[in-house]
Chain A
Amino acid sequence: MTQIELQNISKAFGSMTVINDLSLEIEDAEFLTLLGPSGCGKTTILRIIGGFEQPDRGRVLFEGKDITNLPAYQRPVNTLFQSYSLFPHLNVYDNVAFGLKIQGLKDNEIRPRVEEMLRLVNLSGYEKRSVDRLSGGQQQRIAMARALINRPEVLLLDEPFGALDLKLRKDMQIEMKRIQQQLGITFIFVTHDQEEALTLSDRIIVLNEGIIQQIGSPTDIYNEPINAYVADFIGESNILEGVMHADYDVTFSGRRFTCVDFDFYPDEAVDVVIRPEDVTIVSPEKGMLEGVVLSCLFMGVHYELQIRVGQELYLVHTTIPRKIDQHVGIVIAPDDIHIMRKGEVEGDEDI
């Protein structure tokens, strides 16, 4: 069921257009991620849903009702802010209880709910603590408890893990997913971290310059990026200039390849995307292409190689190290060659 609908939203700050005619439907109880680099408009979308910004054009619907002009404090959504924004003058209990006190609930109604929330975020017994005595991760949990105590139907999360270190971030991701599933409410999550997006989301929306590039499940987006931008943003990719001669027939790096794509104009210029892990290294005489190893870095699980093929650089992931200046051959399987129309974005194929 559609819970939130954005219709033709545009927003500019001064002369800078941040969101351009964006429409979007968000399902009930899904974990939706808005993914994109900084300045892509993802935070602005979140702030429009939260009621902190007014769109210049377009409407925001909540369960079919127009809430475009509803102020933030009347919306059934709550936000987990990037900087947590805990109230420094209140202790943990009063921070979590804030929303309920505002509603005018009595103390004996508030207390059990605060305790329940603190249990949910594994911080029972912290009621009396002052919030500036908490670690980053604990502050994060309190902010979550504070946002969830109002029993919102939607939780908006604005890069909530930005300030945490890697280890803590992983823990919090798991915790957040658990809470989302336990409560069964919609999470709209904003991040620029593609790995985070892939791990957590039911659906991902890839944004660039205020325009939706692609919407899909994490696997769809990773395996079938719609254009070179998405491919480059989600994971590492080799993006090469190519020409599509006919169905299943493409030229790049000076050689003709067989691929699995079809339905292009004859000799259409395209972007060819190849994941580094899909490139196989063989001996020079067995390769489809021949190149020279420029660098070889150990990355923990694999080695990352830069290989110069003619004028182009290939990024290759492999488990066997190679020597610098070594001549190698490259093999790419047909279904690992992804052909993309230049500049295509989500929705274009419908036209």
Chain B
Amino acid sequence: MSKFWQRLYMGLIFGFLYAPIAVLIVFSFNEGKTRGSWDGFSLTWYQQLWQDSEILSAVTNTFLVAIITTIAATIIGTLGAIGIEQYRSKQKTLILGLNQIPVINPDIVMAVGLMVLYRSLDLDFGYLTLILGHIAFTVPYVVLSVLPKLKQMPRSLPEAAMDLGATPMQTLWQVIIPYIRPGIISGALMAFTLSIDDFVISFFTTGNGVETISTMVFSMARRGINPKINALSAIIFVTMLVLMLIMNIRTERAKR
């Protein structure tokens, strides 16, 4: 395959991947409300976005849920990984097998399980069920990103700390957690991203008018999406892009 054809192919695939994003961003500046026809440039949808309480509360909910989920899942998952590592290999295999179920299982099966569980516990669907659901499906990913770091840690490292007089608690905070921190950070990032991006779990576990961006987009899509959503997605996309660029530049610098 010549260079030209390779480039062309890449261009086509990337065009495919970015086409809807470009469309969303371009139409966020569209004067009119109809999709697909350009009525001139305007920032009206961006202005209206700030007055739309439904959208704003969905955005707040999304980030609120993601932050609480990240904190809880990171704590549960990190401590879980540390504890699991102490179990004998047979028990460990069993526990890790359990941990794997939500990762392999389709989201919808997990969501149905949560729904059924909440009903049997007689919980009201809303913030609590939504957050519990998000914690439930992100914990395994934290465990899986912390475990390799723990395996890397020599057994003698915590022993050295205790040898020097550190209690198990001090050892945990001053030696183990600093050592596995990269794993914890990537686990937390993953939990955050999964939570922000989630639709299926949220859709089944929320209620009483509590909406996230995903559930809002989904319900709006049925009755026709407001271009304000385009403006919102443009903002989210640009923010993410900038964040990623900053992170990448920083890691590049750190490498040097």
Contact = CB atoms under 8 A, between A and B. Distances in A.
Answer yes or no: A and B touching, Cβ < 8 Å.
yes
Interface of A: 50-52, 71-74, 77-79, 81-83, 85, 87-89, 98-99, 102-103, 146-147, 150
A82 B156 contact: yes
Interface of B: 154, 156-157, 159-168, 170-171, 174-175, 178-179, 181
Given A52-B159, A72-B159, A102-B170, A85 B165 contact: no
Contacts of B157: 85, 87
Contacts of A98: 161, 164, 166, 174
Contacts of A147: 163-164
A85 B162 contact: no
27 contacts: A51-B162, A52-B163, A72-B162, A73-B166, A73-B167, A77-B163, A78-B164, A79-B159, A81-B156, A81-B160, A83-B154, A83-B156, A85-B154, A85-B157, A85-B159, A85-B160, A89-B179, A89-B181, A98-B161, A98-B166, A98-B174, A99-B164, A102-B164, A102-B170, A146-B164, A147-B163, A150-B165
A83 B152 CA distance: 14
A141 to B, nearest CB: 15
A51 B163 CA distance: 8
Contacts of B170: 102
Contacts of B168: 73
A98 B161 CA distance: 8
Name which of B159, B160, B161, B181 has the most chain A CB atoms within 10 A of its CB.
B160
A73 B179 CA distance: 20
Nearest to A81: B156
Given A83-B154, A87-B175, A73 B160 contact: no
Nearest to B163: A79
B170 to A, nearest CB: 6
B165 A102 contact: yes
Contacts of A78: 163-164
B164 A150 contact: yes
Contacts of A77: 163
A97 to B, nearest CB: 10
